[in-house]
Amino acid sequence: MSNPLLAFWFRLFGRDDDHRLSPGLRRRIPVASASQASATIFLILRRMRAPLIVLITIFAISVLGLTLVPGRTEDGQLWRMSIFDAFYFMSYTASTIGFGELPQTFSDAQRLWVTVSIYLTVIGWAYAIGSLLALVQDRAFRQALALQHFMRMVARLREPFFLIAGYGRTGELLGEAFDALGKRFVVLDDDEDRIEALELAAYHADVPGLVADARDPGHLGVAGLANPHCEAVLALTDDDEVNLAVAMAAALLRPDLPVIARTMSPAIGERMAAFGTPTVVNPFDRFGDHLRIALRAPASYQLITWMESGPGTELPARGSPPERGRWVVCGYGRLGRELIPDLRAEGIDVTVVDPVADTAAHEGGIVRGHGYEPAVLQQANVAGAVGFVAGTDNDTTNLSLVTAARRVNPGLFVAARQNSPSSAPLFAAMNVDSLLVPTEVLAHEVFTQLSTPLLWRFLQEVPARGDRWAARLVDCITQRCGRRLDALWKVRLSRADAPALIPWIDTGEARLGVLLRDPDDRDVQLPVVVLMVMRDGECVLTPDDDFVLAPDDELLLCGRLAARRAVDTTMVVKAAREYVVSGRHVPVSWIWRRFSGVA
């Protein structure tokens, strides 16, 4: 088999004159050629060569012999079988069907020959079928078959899709969310069990999945990196090196694609950022930011979690952050290193409890030992602390830490880290104040960015606006639309999406409040809130009713589903827009418009 990757590297580096990044590079994304896809058929042919030749030879000899051996008819005439009769007889004999002696009874000489050929043909068939079964069991063959199937599926994708490298817990959550949106995606994972889980998952669409190392650009190419329908690359494996390799390959081969990469270490994150402009998501870093917001601005935190948790969720309870005081953080691993500077930045005193923490790396209070031991808790003075973080990478340890700390100080604000999805019910029963599930943090972040980029932009702006603003916005949304988030959607006031609004917007008198009236009764305000208006990359948060709209504005709205339909009506139907703006009922149909002279 020729290796398309070798050819690729040769073509990439074989000529000295083209080391620059160029659009032409995209054509050289290593996608196995069509000949590779036909590898399976060639493999079958090559393996079946010997058995087939054996079978043909045995048949030829048996048939030939049968036409030469003399027989007798019933009236004693000499009789020889014709080639056709012999071939017919051998066909049903060799395949063990057996119709008896046709076209007439055989002589003993013929029977002798048939006996020999029966043994010969049985051996031949057994050999051929055995070879075929061995081939089907063959691992290389099955891999070739899976690759071919995968390539066909990817090539047949005629709609935008995401390329996901790594189908762990985050991949699963994202897959479910994307599938619910009707979004296609392609999965690469080096673990066979994960791909099998993918095939068993109940998705609406077929999801192509391949067991392959995502570090190999050839595999990325096969998974559709070169496909024009590919919309984004998501590197979500649990290995930072692999994620870095995927982000690099995507940035070099398809600089136009957005890349989202997961990492657990700031150093790798910086190396990723050196290639193009990937979005690097570090769940521990995000958790630290979230915790800071939760401590400083409970209403902002409430708003962010509500908007991030997707349509159909109830308004989460507003947390009551602890008063100022000292925090105890158990576990100085990846989470601790991200979290402690965040807490320090808030001006909070931190005591670290860790069995092997490096004192040099951390100035301030370090207590060596396991946090669930009473002596250590006493030493860390948990009784005098206000906040407690159970942040080790072991769920059992974290649960016992929370229990031990609460026994000493029941009023603690407790944040805990959940590592495995199977521990979820235990942590839920613990009822901690703030729970970090790294995979879910990741999934929420990535999903928000890819599904509604406008919402993501909105959430970036929220913390800067302060807590009172957020509290007012939450009140406004609950008053107008209730405590359930029905829908969050984006409208674009373009000629294509809002044909009825354009003439009105062009007058320069189009005010936002008018658009939000009910097209059935214009005195009624629709249950909808405009969260943000985006114009030429600039965004205006929570514009008031007097905001003047301009063409091609993008609006982010949240509200009831009925309100969504009503706004769509106003955007598309001229008569509805006319009624909402001026209160006049104008005819809708062409004939009535002619009669009434509205035109």
Site residues, another protein (CB under 8 A) = 1-2, 35, 42-43, 45-49, 52-53, 56-57, 59-60, 63-64, 67, 82-85
Q: CA-CA distance, 391 to 117, in Å (whole number)? A: 76
Residue nearer to another protein on the CB measure, 128 or 377: 128
Cis ω for the linkage preceding 103 (within 30 of 0): yes
Could you list the beta-strand ranges (E) of 426-570. Answer: 434-436, 487-492, 528-535, 538-541, 554-559
Provide, rounded to whole angstroms, the least separation between the CB of residue 110 and another protein: 18
Task: Give the Cβ contact number of residue 552 at 10 Å.
Answer: 16
Copy the structure tokens of residue 61: 């000899």
Report the candidate in 302, 227, 592 with the shortest Cα–Cα distance to residue 471: 302
Residue nearer to another protein on the CB measure, 2 or 403: 2
Provide, rounded to whole angstroms, the least separation between the CB of residue 6 and another protein: 16
Three-state secondary-structure class, residue 325: coil
Provide, rounded to whole angstroms, the least separation between the CB of residue 8 and another protein: 19
Provide, rounded to whole angstroms, the least separation between the CB of residue 140 and another protein: 14
> What's the chain's Rg over C-alpha atoms?
35
Residue 242: CB partners within 8 Å, gap ≥ 6?
165, 166, 213, 214, 215, 235
For residue 19, the 8-state DSSP code is -
Q: CA-CA distance, 193 to 265, in Å (whole number)? A: 27
Provide, rounded to whole angstroms, the least separation between the CB of residue 55 and another protein: 9
Task: Beginning with the edge strand found earlier in the chain, give each strand of the sheet holding 279-281 in spatial order.
Answer: 209-211, 184-189, 161-165, 230-235, 259-262, 279-281
In 73-101, which positions are buried (b, 16+ CB within 10 angstroms) versus exposed (e)? eeeeeebebeeebbbbbbeebbeeeeeee
Torsion of CA 25, 27, 30, 34, to 10 degrees: -170
For residue 212, the 8-state DSSP code is -
Residue nearer to another protein on the CB measure, 43 or 573: 43
Provide, rounded to whole angstroms, the least separation between the CB of residue 111 and another protein: 22
Provide, rounded to whole angstroms, the least separation between the CB of residue 227 and another protein: 26
Provide, rounded to whole angstroms, the least separation between the CB of residue 44 and another protein: 8
Residue nearer to another protein on the CB measure, 63 or 144: 63
The answer to whether the CB of 189 falls within 8 A of the CB of 167 is yes
Burial class (CB within 10 angstroms; exposed 0-12, middle 13-18, buried 19+) of 487? middle
Copy the structure tokens of residue 558: 């949240």
Residue nearer to another protein on the CB measure, 63 or 437: 63
Residue nearer to another protein on the CB measure, 130 or 374: 130
Provide, rounded to whole angstroms, the least separation between the CB of residue 1 and another protein: 8
Residue nearer to another protein on the CB measure, 61 or 573: 61
Residue nearer to another protein on the CB measure, 110 or 448: 110
Residue nearer to another protein on the CB measure, 48 or 541: 48
Residue nearer to another protein on the CB measure, 36 or 110: 36
Provide, rounded to whole angstroms, the least separation between the CB of residue 254 and another protein: 30
